[in-house]
Structure 1
Amino acid sequence: MSNFTQAVDTLRQPQWQGALTQLTRGIEREALRIDSNCHLAQDPHNPALGSALTHPWITTDFSESLLEMITPVYQEPDQLLQHLSDAHTFVLKNIGEQRLWPLSMPCFLGEDDGAIPIAQYGTSHIGRMKTTYRIGLHNRYGSQMQAISGLHFNFSLPSALWPALGIASDDQAAITDRYFSLLRYFRRKAWVLAYLFGASPSLCKSFLGDTKSSLPFVESHGTVYLPYATSLRMSDLGYTNSAQDALSVSLNGLEDYVRDLKHAISVPSAEYAEIGVKVDGEYRQLNSNVLQIENELYASMRPKRTADSGETPSDALARGGIEYVEVRALDINPFAAVGIDRSQVLLLDLFLLDGLLLPTEPLTEASDAESAANFEDVVLDGRRPDKTLQYRGEPRALSDWMSELFERWAQLAPILDAANGDNRYSDALQQWQGCATDPTQTLSAKVLDISLREGHGHWAGKLADKHRETLLNRDFQRLTAQQLEQAVVDSHAQQAAIEAADSGSFDQFLVDYFAQ
């Protein structure tokens, strides 16, 4: 009997049924606001949506025009998606005739990189820091790259389930070690999510502008694409930083991870020093290091712990270990009004639970390079017939590997179904099963087919209209209109209180922050 089979048999025992219904999840969905011509909206974040600095469910990411809808943690997927839908509905009720762009790769952004309005968070020190960080991103990488939208999926196990994995519920060190094991598992298998859920095989030609890409794009009526791509968002077109290439942040344990992350934000960059930090009284970036702050380090999955006020992510982890993981390698699903559907949430449960069941071996330089190469191969060419990847230095058919993973998940699905009293996981697995051996059933294949037939921008515009109508014609389900309106009032009051409580200069605030 394999270790995996033994672990599955343990989960099947009756005492774990209740805990299996308590997997916790949260979602952060980014979406560009667009006008009737599918151009980027130029107006500021609407005050009717609340303060972007303090609202718990509706904020902005890089740009005033790049909304981010956030859920709290939920144990029931339907409630999670109801909350996300309620936030979307409230947004659309308060942005007039504007719509939300339904794809990860942006709409028409304008000829000038400066036409993407950088997010503003008020006059407080922390608000100015958030804006200054984004000014730094603009000066370092350009704003277009920052306008790419994604979806983040937060996941954790309930404390009652850890003993089923042989870990005491109060042993935070062992829990953290197993989450790092999941991070390594994810590093090796992140290509699975790009293959199944990647939905950005094509983009509007305007995004490239006059830039000569090294990728062998094919062009058709203003749409550029790679014939077998799955997620151009996750390629070099997306959030990449060549200066980060020399940085190495270990996933082999908490102490190494925190040490490497703290080192990463202290490495100076001659290239960024040329930009300047504060020039003629105006900040161009927070500092001239390779990373301004820890969150600038790109990662397809991050270990997370809720930080105290003024605490950096690495300090929070060092204090309390990993609380949850954040999956960042997900494209927006354009066929879902809120960017993700229930079947994806359930499949993510299976994928992540599989990764937590057993410890995984440490990453080596060779295995890490192999994992990175597999991911890039799937992102750019994953739907090619008879695609092969590398597994421990040997070629392995992608379809065989995917089929093996689906077989593993098929052993987990009935156990989770029994705990929940329905067939939700088996149904979700069945819905995506065909993708394992038939790439034409993947999201990216469907997106490419429609965008080439109807035109990238035309199709996306129609989809934005459809989703707008769907979301406006539904009732609030998880939240009430009164709760949503009160959150707006409260968030403005909270921002005003933060601004009133500030003391000292912004310059000193930054000195104190980085002195940590």
Structure 2
Amino acid sequence: MTATLERRLAELTDGAQVSSLTGIQRGLEKESLRINSAGKLAQTPHPVELGAALTHPYITTDYSEALLEFITPVSTSISATLETLETIHRYTYAHIDDELLWGASMPCILEGDASIPVADYGTSNVGTMKTVYRLGLGHRYGRLMQTIAGIHYNFSMPDAYWADAQRADDNSEPLQDYISNRYLGLIRNFQRHSWLLIYLFGASPAVCKSFLRGNAEHNLEAFDEQGKSMHLPWATSLRMGDLGYQSNAQRDLEVCYNNLHKYIDDLCNAITRNHPAYETIGVGTPEARKQLNTGLLQIENEFYSSIRPKRVAASGETSLGALRRGGIEYIEVRCIDVNPYCSVGIDAAQIRFLDIFLLYCLLEDSPACEAPERQLQAENIRRVVNRGREPGLLLQTNAGDTSLQDLAKQLLTDMQSIATSLDQAHQSSDYSATLTDQRGKVVDSTKTPSAMLLEEMKERELPFFRLAMSYSENWAKAFRSNPLEAEAAEVFAKAARDSLARQTEIEATDSVDFNTYVQNYYEQYKTLAKS
């Protein structure tokens, strides 16, 4: 433990500040493919009973009409967050007939890009923009990649924490600048150590062969004689590797997390400068747009990163504009696989460890990160994604190669004081217990979800698809056997009705044509780039 971590933790657990440990704010965004009873991607539209994906506060879609995204409101309670997520699942199951929610990150049986319907958000300008953005992703990267599901974990410290922390750090800059810089420090440390999360919680070591349709450039091995499943024997999270949300075009994109203005400028430049390969695709015609622009990025969301700085944007405002206006409000962790062994894809123990991990990243020293270190970090992620459980695996550090086990043990040791402090604040032993569980996974990699999945596929002689389908069916049965009471169901039914009415209202109030709307939207990036 460094002196900075020790001091900041002592201040955080002293007197009135301890309430900040029980006031951590969290939210989950969990994606799930809708599939039919045969295990193929659903071709049905987003159910009207689930409301308008454009405006519903809890139930929307991501890339595809068949890729649902469930959103929990901000909460300081882990149990309440998980209860809300379970309630959304139960409500959804009451309105998708005989369809199921796929319970894994890597997708079900796919039949090529044509079988993946792009999400429809209605006829408004904002809805059309969301759809055209997704069409652009399909043209740029193919639609298959967009069917991969994950869980996003939103994290922020309570407002009351920051003023005291700034005084303790003897910092005199404007408070919001201090907050943004501390969150950027968290992000830099996260990128240094996120390989540990992928090792501990990665749950996508195999994939259905249909996902590789037309892709001969992979290093996966057949898991079974029939070749129905492809895998890597020591893999942890193929979702986070070359098969997942990766972009060759973005590999040379340097995005700086040392300074918020530089971060915004880097992404604005990537959005506003043309990229030759995407110029070849073109934007299409006004009646049939192919993509929003020909930049390296259409919008900032296209930048694939395992963590993002965030602020809630105003209506019509870009995410980068919100950050420039008000600074960082929270961070979004994006490297979490859906765990097939959990009914909602994540459990309380994992959330507690995420809190420990993110607090460690926030409280610890976080020096600036330059290109050589970013390359080192990317290499470590690649190794852990593909070979994370390989005995004796070495990771790169500034001091030379070190075994994953030794690095993981040291990190978990350094986090013990944070777990202890969280336990004291919550009057429990749950945080220390989850830290002990993670130590067990480091000592014995067979306890990791990725190892457990491959072992179960082997023992039950099931390809990846069949095993994931089995768990999806089991969770569907559990949710359907425990429907919501009428009062709770009506809350969601009303939210659905209100969202449909709101979409209709938005569609009726558009005052310019779509091309003008897009042009005006992109003027914001040009203004940001100049400011």
Give the TM-score normalised by the residue count of structure 1.
0.97
Separation of aligned partners in 2, 1:21 and 1:492: 36
Residue 499 of structure 1 is aligned with which of 503, 507, 510?
Answer: 507
Single out whichever of 218-227 and 338-347 deviates more from structure 2: 218-227
1:222 deviation in Å? Answer: 1.0
1:305 deviation in Å? Answer: 0.4
Residue 256 of structure 2 is matched in structure 1 by 250
Match runs of 1:177-192 below 5 Å = 177-192=181-196
1:279 deviation in Å? Answer: 3.5
In structure 2, relative to structure 1, the CA distance for the partners of 1:337 and 1:209 (3 Å cut) is same
Match runs of 1:133-282 below 5 Å = 133-163=133-163, 165-167=165-167, 171-220=175-224, 221-279=227-285, 281-282=287-288
Give the partner amino acid of 1:189.
Answer: H
> What SS is found at the alignment partner of 1:480?
helix
Separation of aligned partners in 1, 2:376 and 2:165: 28
Separation of aligned partners in 2, 1:67 and 1:51: 12
Residue 518 of structure 2 is matched in structure 1 by 510
Separation of aligned partners in 2, 1:341 and 1:102: 14
The answer as to 2:29 corresponding to 1:28 is yes
Separation of aligned partners in 1, 2:515 and 2:335: 35
Give yes or no for contact 2:85–2:344 (8 Å, CA) kept in 1.
yes
- Residue deviations 1:141-179 (CA, integer Å, cap 9, x gap): 110000010110000001222356445898111111010
Match runs of 1:483-498 below 5 Å = 483-498=491-506
- Residue deviations 1:64-107 (CA, integer Å, cap 9, x gap): 00000001101000000011111111111100111111111100
Separation of aligned partners in 1, 2:483 and 2:78: 18
Give yes or no for contact 1:165–1:358 (8 Å, CA) kept in 2.
no
- Residue deviations 1:357-404 (CA, integer Å, cap 9, x gap): 133000011111111110111011110011110110501111111111
Residue 130 of structure 1 is matched in structure 2 by 130
Give yes or no for contact 1:165–1:357 (8 Å, CA) kept in 2.
no
Coordinate RMSD, CA, aligned: 1.8
> What SS is found at the alignment partner of 1:426?
helix
Single out whichever of 390-399 and 26-35 deviates more from structure 2: 390-399
Separation of aligned partners in 1, 2:139 and 2:325: 33
Give yes or no for contact 1:31–1:149 (8 Å, CA) kept in 2.
yes
Residue 527 of structure 2 is matched in structure 1 by none
Residue 457 of structure 2 is matched in structure 1 by 451
Give the partner amino acid of 1:261.
Answer: L
1:476 deviation in Å? Answer: 4.7
Match runs of 1:21-170 below 5 Å = 21-110=22-111, 112-163=112-163, 165-167=165-167
1:218 deviation in Å? Answer: 3.5
1:216 deviation in Å? Answer: 4.3
Q: Percent identity?
A: 42
Separation of aligned partners in 1, 2:464 and 2:252: 36
Give yes or no for contact 1:34–1:100 (8 Å, CA) kept in 2.
yes
Give yes or no for contact 1:20–1:161 (8 Å, CA) kept in 2.
no
Give the partner amino acid of 2:54.
Answer: L
> What SS is found at the alignment partner of 1:16?
helix
Separation of aligned partners in 2, 1:137 and 1:443: 30
Give yes or no for contact 1:178–1:359 (8 Å, CA) kept in 2.
no
The answer as to 2:330 corresponding to 1:324 is yes
1:293 deviation in Å? Answer: 1.0
Residue 437 of structure 2 is matched in structure 1 by 431
Give the TM-score normalised by the residue count of structure 2.
0.94
- Residue deviations 1:175-204 (CA, integer Å, cap 9, x gap): 110100011001111111110111000011
Residue 298 of structure 2 is aligned with which of 284, 292, 297?
Answer: 292
Separation of aligned partners in 2, 1:339 and 1:73: 18
Match runs of 1:359-438 below 5 Å = 359-438=365-444
Give the partner amino acid of 1:201.
Answer: P
Give yes or no for contact 1:32–1:101 (8 Å, CA) kept in 2.
yes
Separation of aligned partners in 1, 2:3 and 2:505: 58
> What SS is found at the alignment partner of 1:30?
strand
Single out whichever of 429-438 and 504-513 deviates more from structure 2: 429-438
1:327 deviation in Å? Answer: 0.2
Single out whichever of 86-95 and 453-462 deviates more from structure 2: 453-462
Separation of aligned partners in 2, 1:281 and 1:321: 37
Separation of aligned partners in 2, 1:177 and 1:512: 30
